Amino acid sequence: MEKQNDQSRMDRIVSLAKRRGFIFQSSEIYGGLNGFWDYGPLGVALKRNLKESWWHDMVAGHDELSTLPGAPTPYEMTGLDCTIIMHPQVWKVSGHFDLFHDWMIDCRESKRRYRYDHLHGRWASHRGKKVFVVTDQSGEEAAPHTVQKAQKFFGLRAKQVDEIEWEGTLVPLAASVADGSVTLSGALGPDAGEAGTLTEPREFNLMFETRIGALAGNDDDRAFLRPETAQGIFMNFKNVLDTSRVSVPFGIAQIGKSFRNEITPRNFTFRSREFEQMEIEFFCKPADSAAWYRFWRDRRWNWYLSLGLTAGKLQLREHHADELSHYSVGTADIEYAFPFLAEGEFGELEGIAHRGDFDLRSHMEGKLVRQNGQLVVETGPDGKPRHRGSGKDLSYFDDATRERYVPHVIEPSAGADRAVLAFLCDAYHEDEVPDEDGKPRSRTVLKLHPRLAPLKAAILPLVKKDGMPEVAIDLYRRLKAHMPCMYDEKGSVGRRYARQDEAGTPWCLTIDGQTLNDQTVTLRDRDTLVQTRVPIDACVDMLRERLH
Ligand code: ATP
């Protein structure tokens, strides 16, 4: 029951996001494009504030002279902005070209395509007829979907659904095919009417391909849109070292677009085909890398809390050994209980990975694979490296200890769009507030952290006369020099408060009759609804103070 509420809660969040101009479907007037989203006037401000908070807290505002709690030593931070299209060899050596794929499965009947690891199913039988019913729905919607499918398959009326016999609970299709308990020929696809229409799973590369140059046509012109921002940082590791006087330990940060041709984009912006990442590659001495890994895991976890994400909805999940990428020494995901997920399920916001020297070594020597516990250059049938590295020396000489080594890398990799979605979901509240006459009125409010809020304040003259607008406009101009704010004189003050609550504006400043007598205004707090009188000349400093 509760989850049904959560799904409808998610629907209301999506509808608010559209109605108030946070997020629109891309190319909507042409019917939209699945997996692509645009940020509207309020959304762009929210997303920009989120990225700027990240950049400020991780990079620009970082104090490299002090030792942060949990850090082994002080460290430096710097940044980059790299291209989306890079030399194709980057992706061959990084492993994305060979490995960056999902298994997908097609339905011959419905022509729909599914991610193999997203399909679940269970056995259903009715009067001797038996079928494995597959669903692509997740969470609480999955089981009812299989009931609906089975009812149709067996040709039953609604009141006959209780006659269907079910065997066990929903299980992943891939695992059931692997252990032989299910064959695809006996499976009823999520959108099919007949069993046996699902094809064998096939690999599908998630990188978008493009061609470089006007005469593009042969294989050498093939290029890819980056599926992560990290590789641009490795490409410039030596440039940064040679030009910026940084020394290990140090981090390079980048925010930028990434592209993945996701097979089943879904859950609003959670799984998009074009999205933004906020990534740090942190280079450290191999012996200290485990301590740095723990430091970054905890630092990134605390960052989400510092911006107000509800602790009880966040989860830090350390990967089990068998889940780790072949190069990874340790990985933790920071996950959020999004409302579109079933009870107890969490979706990844950020991964923090200890990547050892995998990346720098690959770009020196060639694509690496693990063999007998060691990373070795993968060779082709001719015994030569399958994908050759750059041959450039990317090792580091430590002046203090007179040692040369290939630094180890800790990578906190976050998604800006997923973070925006988590903050939106977390901030969304429905409550009741007294209106001007003291009667309870239901309101929708986004309790966004003031640093993230698109607008920090609204300046409202109580009425459009008696000199109030002039005083309000003057205050608006003074405040606008310091923070995004808006002037609004349209409609009743209650309606104007409601509009600001929906936009997540933390403070409203109202100019009324008393202002003209004693130079004070009403400061209304979005979350507590407390109204206090503040001298008009103190407003700017007071709000600036609160934003810090
Ligand atoms: P998932 O398993 O959900 O596909 P991933 O483990 O492949 O994610 P990473 O490669 O670790 O993701 O990417 C780092 C971050 O980039 C993720 O934590 C997420 O916030 C973001 N991200 C990855 N894929 C997408 C996507 N399709 N849409 C939006 N954000 C994404």
Cα(368) to ligand 1 centroid in Å equals: 23
Range 273-296 average pLDDT: 96
- Is pLDDT above 90 for 72? yes
- What backbone torsions phi and psi does residue 180 show, to the nearest 5 degrees? 85, 0
Name the residue at shortest CA distance from atom 10 of ligand 1.
Answer: 228
Pairing, β 457-461 against β 507-511: parallel
Range 1-18 average pLDDT: 79
pLDDT per residue as tens digits for the range 220-244 = 678 999 999 999 999 999 999 999 9
DSSP 219-269: GGGEEEB-S-SHHHHHHTHHHHHHHH---SSEEEEEEEEEE---SS-BTTT
Q: 232 near 83, Cβ under 8 Å? A: yes
Q: Which atom of ligand 1 is nearest to the CA of 413?
A: 14
- Is pLDDT above 50 for 2? no
Cα(466) to ligand 1 centroid in Å equals: 55
256 closest CA partner among 414, 122, 128: 414
Residues 6+ apart with CB under 8 A from 287: none
DSSP 358-407: HHHHHHHHB-EEEETTEEEE-B-TTSSBSSB-------EEETTTTEEEPP
Which one of 23, 34, 328, 348 would you pick to mutate in the ligand 1 pocket, going by the greatest count of ligand atoms within 8 A of its CB? 348
pLDDT score for 202: 84
Name the residue at shortest CA distance from atom 31 of ligand 1.
Answer: 415
Distance CA 241, CA 520 (A): 55
pLDDT score for 215: 65
Range 518-530 average pLDDT: 95
- Is pLDDT above 60 for 5? no
Lowest mean pLDDT among 77-86, 322-331, 415-424, 485-494: 322-331
pLDDT score for 141: 86
pLDDT score for 98: 79
Which one of 275, 297, 314, 325 would you pick to mutate in the ligand 1 pocket, going by the greatest count of ligand atoms within 8 A of its CB? 275
pLDDT score for 203: 80
Give strand pairing partners of 86. Answer: none
Name the residue at shortest CA distance from atom 22 of ligand 1.
Answer: 415
Q: 385 near 377, Cβ under 8 Å? A: yes
pLDDT score for 217: 66
Cα(83) to ligand 1 centroid in Å equals: 19
pLDDT per residue as tens digits for the range 59-71 = 999 999 999 999 9
Around ligand 1, the residues with Cβ closer than 6 Å are: 228, 260, 262, 271-272, 275, 277, 348-351, 413-415, 417-418
Give the pLDDT band (50/70/90) at residue 245.
confident
pLDDT score for 1: 36
pLDDT per residue as tens digits for the range 171-199 = 999 999 988 899 998 899 999 999 999 99
Give the pLDDT band (50/70/90) at residue 206.
confident
Name the residue at shortest CA distance from atom 13 of ligand 1.
Answer: 413
pLDDT per residue as tens digits for the range 88-110 = 999 999 988 877 777 889 999 99
pLDDT per residue as tens digits for the range 316-355 = 999 887 777 666 778 999 999 999 998 889 999 999 999 9
For the chain, the 3-state helix, strand and coil shares in percent, each to the nearest 5, are 35, 30, 35
pTM: 0.85
pLDDT per residue as tens digits for the range 121-144 = 999 999 999 999 999 998 888 999
Cα(105) to ligand 1 centroid in Å equals: 21
Lowest mean pLDDT among 21-25, 73-77, 213-217: 213-217
Range 251-269 average pLDDT: 93
Q: Which DSSP helix (H) or strand (E) runs through 137?
A: none
Looking at per-residue confidence, does 236 or 548 come out higher? 236
Which one of 51, 277, 297, 354 would you pick to mutate in the ligand 1 pocket, going by the greatest count of ligand atoms within 8 A of its CB? 277
| Structure token digits, residue 507 | 């403070």
Instruction: Tell me the three state secondary structure of residue 70.
Output: coil
Lowest mean pLDDT among 424-438, 441-455, 521-535: 424-438
Q: Which DSSP helix (H) or strand (E) runs through 345?
A: none
Instruction: Tell me the three state secondary structure of residue 341.
Output: coil
Q: For residue 539, how far is the Cα from the chain centroid? A: 35
Cα(543) to ligand 1 centroid in Å equals: 36
Range 200-214 average pLDDT: 86
CB neighbour class for 311 (10 Å; exposed up to 12, middle 13-18, buried from 19): exposed
Name the residue at shortest CA distance from atom 3 of ligand 1.
Answer: 348
Lowest mean pLDDT among 28-42, 172-186, 272-286, 353-367: 172-186
pLDDT score for 380: 85
